Structure 1
Amino acid sequence: MAYAALLSLLQTLEEYLPIPLKKITSDLQNNVSQLLGFLEDPSTKNSLPIKHFEGQIIDASFEAQDIIDSHVSRHVVLSKSVIRRVGSCFLETIAALQYKFPAIHLCGTSVNYMHPGLKLELEGRLKKVIDEFDTILEALSKIKDGKEEASQQGNSSIASSSRFVASNKSEMVGLDQDLMDIKDRLTGTTSKLDIISIVGMGGIGKTTLTRNLYKDSLIEYYFQIRAWVVVSQDYHVQEMFTSLVDSTRLTGGELHQTSIEELAERLYKNLKGRRYLIVMDDVWDTKAWDDIRRFFPDDNNGSRIILTTRQSEVAIYANSNSPIHHMSLLGSNASWELLCKTIFGQEGCPFRLEKIGMKIAHNCKGLPLAIVVIGGLLSKDSKQEYWEQIAKDVNLAVVRNVGEQFMEILSMSYNWLPHHLKACFLYMGVFPEDHEIFVSQLIKLWIAEGFIKPPTPKSFEEAAEDYLKDLIGRSLIQVRKRTHNGEIKTCIIHDMLRELCVKKARDEKFLQIMDWDMRTFPQGRDDQRRVSIHSDILDYLRDVHDSFARSLLYFCKRASNNQLLSYTMSCRLLNVLDALTIRFYEFPIGILELFHLKYLAFIYRGKRKFPASIYKLQNLQTLIVYQGYIDSSKIDTLNLPLNIWKMPKLRHLLFERSFLPCPFPTDHSVILENLQTLSEVTNFKCNKEVLKLMPKVKKLGISYFHDGRTEWSSYEFNNFVYLHHLETLKCLFIATDYRVTAPLPINLAFPPSLKKLTLSGCRISWEKMTVVGSLHNLEVLKLKDYAFEGSIWETKEGEFTKLKYLLIYMNSLEHWRANSTHFPQLRHISLDFCNKLAAIPSEIGDIQTLELLELSECSSSAVASAMLIQEEQQNLENDGLRVRINSIRDNYNSDKDTSLKKVTTPTYQIQCRFLAS
Structure 2
Amino acid sequence: MAYYAALVSLLRTLEDSPQPMQHILSDLHHKVGCLLGILEVDSSRKSSLSIMDFEGRTRDASFEAQDIIESHISTDQQELSKSVSSGVCSCFWDIISALQHMFPAIHLCETWTDSIYQGMNLEVKGLKRVIRELDLILEAMSKIKDGKEEAPGAGNLWVAGASRSVAGNESAPVGLDQDLFHLKDRLTGSSSNLDIISIVGMGGIGKTTLARNLYNDPLIEDRFDTRAWVVVSQNYNVQEILTILVNSTRREGGEVHKKSADELAVRLHKNLKGWRYLIVMDDVWDVKAWDEVKRFFPDDNNSSRVILTTRQSEVAMYANHRSPIHHMALLSPKSSWDLLRETIFGQEDCPYALQEIGWNIAENCKGLPLAIVVTGGLLSKDSKEEDWKRIAQDVKSAIARNAGDQFMEILSLSYNSLPHHLRSCFLYMGVFPEDYEIFVSQLIKLWVAEGFIKPLSHKSLEELAEDYLSNLIKRSLVEVRRRNGNGEIKSIVIHDMLRELSVQKAQEEKFLLLRNSHRHVSPQGRNNQRRVSIHDFDTSDLDDLTVAHDNDVYTVVHDSYLHSLLCFRHSHSSFRVVPFIMSFRLLKVLDALTITFDEFPIGLVELVHLRYIALCFGGEGRLPESICKLWNLQTLVAYRRDLEDLKSDILYLPLNIWKMPQLRHLLFERGFFPYPFLAEVIGKDAVVLENLQTLSDVKNFPCTKEVLELMPNLKKLGISYVRESGTEWSFYEFNNFVYLQKLDTLKCEFISKDDGVGKHLPLKLALPQNLRKLTLQGCTISWENMTVIGSLPKCLK
Flag whether TM exceeds 0.5 (same fold): yes
User: Does the 8 Å contact 1:171/1:342 carry over to 2?
Assistant: no
Aligned-partner residue type, residue 738 of structure 1: D
The alpha-carbon deviation at position 442 of structure 1 amounts to 0.2
**Structure 1 463/703 Cα, relative in aligned 2: closer, same or farther at 3 Å?**
same
1:95 corresponds to 2:136: yes
- Any conservation in 2 of the 1:430–1:513 contact (CA below 8 Å)? yes
Amino acid at match of 1:406: F
Q: Check if 1:581 corresponds to 2:594.
A: yes
Matched, 1:652 2:665: yes
Q: CA contact under 8 A between 1:282 and 1:308: conserved in structure 2?
A: yes
Q: Which residue of 2 aligns with 1:700?
A: 717
Give the alignment's TM-score, normalised by structure 2.
0.89
Judged with a 3 Å threshold, the aligned counterparts in structure 2 of structure 1 residues 68 and 383 are, in CA distance, closer, same or farther, namely same
Cross-structure match for 1:548 = 561
1:567, distance to aligned residue in structure 2 (A): 2.1
Separation in 2 of the partners of 1:48 and 1:189? 46
- CA shift, 1:628, in A, is 3.8
Partner of 2:338: 337
Q: How does 1:651-800 map to 2 (within 5 A)?
A: 651-664=664-677, 667-670=683-686, 671-741=688-758, 743-778=760-795, 780-781=796-797
Contact map agreement 1:229 1:244 (CA 8 A) in 2 = yes
Shift of 1:103: 8.3
1:696–1:723 contact (8 Å) kept in structure 2: yes
Counterpart in 2 of 1:109?
none
Aligned residue type for 1:160:
A
AA at the equivalent of 1:339: L
1:609 match: secondary structure: coil
Contact conserved, 2:161 with 2:234, CA < 8 A, in 1? Answer: no
**Separation of aligned partners in 2, 1:229 and 1:592:** 60
The answer to whether structure 1 residue 565 and structure 2 residue 578 are counterparts is yes
Query: Does the 8 A contact of 1:159 with 1:408 survive in 2?
Result: no
Q: Name the structure 1 match of 2:162.
A: 160
Q: Provide the secondary structure at the position in 2 that maps to 1:90.
A: helix
Matched, 1:85 2:133: no
Higher relative contact order (CA 8 A, sep 6+): 2
Question: Which AA in structure 1 matches 2:707?
Answer: V
CA contact (8 A) 1:194 1:322 kept: yes
Preserved CA contact (<8 Å) 2:273 2:300 = yes
Matched residue, 2:260: 259
User: How far apart, CA to CA, are the structure 1 residues paired with 2:651 and 2:524?
Assistant: 36
8 Å contact from structure 2 (residues 167, 212) kept in 1: no
Cα pair distance change 1:306/1:630, threshold 3 Å: farther
Unaligned 5+ segments in structure 1 are 106-129, 149-157, 782-917
Matches within 5 A, 1:491-640: 491-516=492-517, 527-542=528-543, 543=547, 544-545=555-556, 547-558=560-571, 560-628=573-641, 636-640=649-653
- 1: CA distance, partners of 2:469 / 2:293: 31
Deviates more, 1:613-622 or 1:37-46: 37-46
Q: Distance in 1 between matches of 2:524 and 2:206?
A: 43
Q: Which residue of 1 aligns with 2:114?
A: none
Task: Please show how residues 19-418 of structure 1 align to structure 2 within 5 Å.
Answer: 21-40=21-40, 41-43=42-44, 47-75=48-76, 81=121, 82-83=123-124, 85-99=126-140, 101-102=142-143, 137-138=151-152, 140-141=153-154, 143-144=156-157, 159-161=161-163, 163-164=165-166, 166=168, 170-379=171-380, 382-418=383-419
Kept in 1: contact 2:227–2:279 (CA 8 A): yes
Q: How far apart, CA to CA, are the structure 2 residues paired with 1:142 and 1:453?
A: 32
Unmatched 5+ stretches in structure 2: 78-91, 94-116, 548-554
Measure, in 1, the Cα distance between the counterparts of 2:661 and 2:585.
Answer: 22
* 8 Å Cα contact 2:273-2:298 kept in structure 1: yes
- The 8 Å contact of residues 161 and 369 in structure 1, kept in 2 or not, is answered as no
Change (3 A) 1:559 1:56: farther
1:13 — aligned with what? 14
Is this contact kept in 1: 2:478–2:494, CA < 8 A?
yes
- Structure 2 vs 1, CA of residues 624 and 355 (structure 1 numbering), >3 Å: closer, same or farther? same
Shift of 1:767: 4.5
Alpha-carbon RMSD across the aligned residues, in angstroms, is 2.4
- Give 1:445's aligned amino acid: L
Partner deviation per Cα, 1:254-285 (whole Å, 9 max, x = no partner): 22211111111111111000000000000001
- For 1:490 and 1:318, locate their aligned partners in 2 and report how far apart those are by CA, in whole Å: 29
Are the counterparts in 2 of residues 161 and 203 from structure 1 also a CA contact under 8 Å? no
SS of the residue 2:222 aligns to: helix
The alpha carbon displacement at 1:570 in A equals 1.9
Give deviations 1:190-239, integer Å, cap 9, x for gaps. Answer: 10111111100000010000000001111111111111110000110110
Aligned partner of 1:913 in structure 2 is none
- CA shift, 1:635, in A, is 6.8
Write the mapping of 1:798-813 to structure 2, written as runs, cut at 5 A: none
Q: Aligned partners of 1:521, 1:254: CA distance in 2, in Å?
A: 60
Q: Secondary structure at the match of 1:192?
A: coil
Distance 1:16 1:526 in 2: 27
CA contact (8 A) 1:707 1:740 kept: no
- Report the CA distance between 1:380 and its aligned residue: 6.7
In structure 1, what is the equivalent of residue 104 of structure 2?
none
Contact 1:700 1:728 in 2 (8 A): yes
Shift of 1:524: 10
Question: Which residue type is aligned with residue 133 of structure 2?
Answer: E
State whether residues 31 and 134 of structure 2, in contact with CA within 8 Å, keep that contact through their aligned partners in structure 1. no
**1:743, distance to aligned residue in structure 2 (A):** 3.2
When residues 71 and 104 of structure 1 are mapped into structure 2, their CA distance, relative to the original with a 3 A threshold, is farther
CA distance in 1, matches of 2:643, 2:779: 26
- The answer (yes or no) to whether the contact 2:24–2:127 under 8 Å persists in 1 is no
Distance in 2 separating the partners of 1:519 and 1:736 = 56
Note the C-alpha offset of 1:523: 9.2
Structure 2 Cα separation of the partners of residues 350 and 597 of structure 1: 58
Letter in 2 for 1:641: P
Q: Please tell me whether residue 442 in structure 1 is matched to residue 443 in structure 2.
A: yes
- Partner SS, residue 288 of structure 2: helix
Q: CA deviation at 1:166?
A: 4.3
The residue identity in structure 2 corresponding to 1:61 is S
How far apart, in 2, do the equivalents of 1:576 and 1:45 lie? 36
The verdict on how the C-alpha distance between 1:523 and 1:29 changes in structure 2, with shifts beyond 3 A counting, is farther
How far 1:483 sits from its partner (Å)? 0.6
CA 1:96–1:658 in structure 2 vs 1: closer, same or farther (change >3 Å)?
Answer: closer
**Contact map agreement 2:621 2:648 (CA 8 A) in 1:** no
In structure 2, what is the Cα distance between the partners aligned to 1:523 and 1:598? 28
How far 1:34 moved relative to its partner? 1.0
Residue identity matched to 1:428: M
Q: Assess if the C-alpha contact under 8 Å between 1:69 and 1:573 holds in 2.
A: yes
- Structure 1's 337 and 101: CA in aligned 2 closer, same or farther, altered over 3 A? same
Q: Identity of counterpart residues, as a percentage?
A: 60
Letter in 1 for 2:765: L
What residue identity is the alignment partner of 2:31? N
What code does the residue aligned with 1:600 have?
I
Kept after mapping to 2: 8 A contact 1:587/1:606: yes
Q: What amino acid is aligned across from residue 617 of structure 1 in structure 2? A: L
CA–CA distance in 1 between the matches of 2:518 and 2:268? Answer: 58
Contact 1:523 1:548 in 2 (8 A): no
Deviations for 1:543-571, whole angstroms, at most 9, x for unmatched residues?
A: 14252110000012326302222221221
Deviates further, 769-778 or 44-53: 44-53
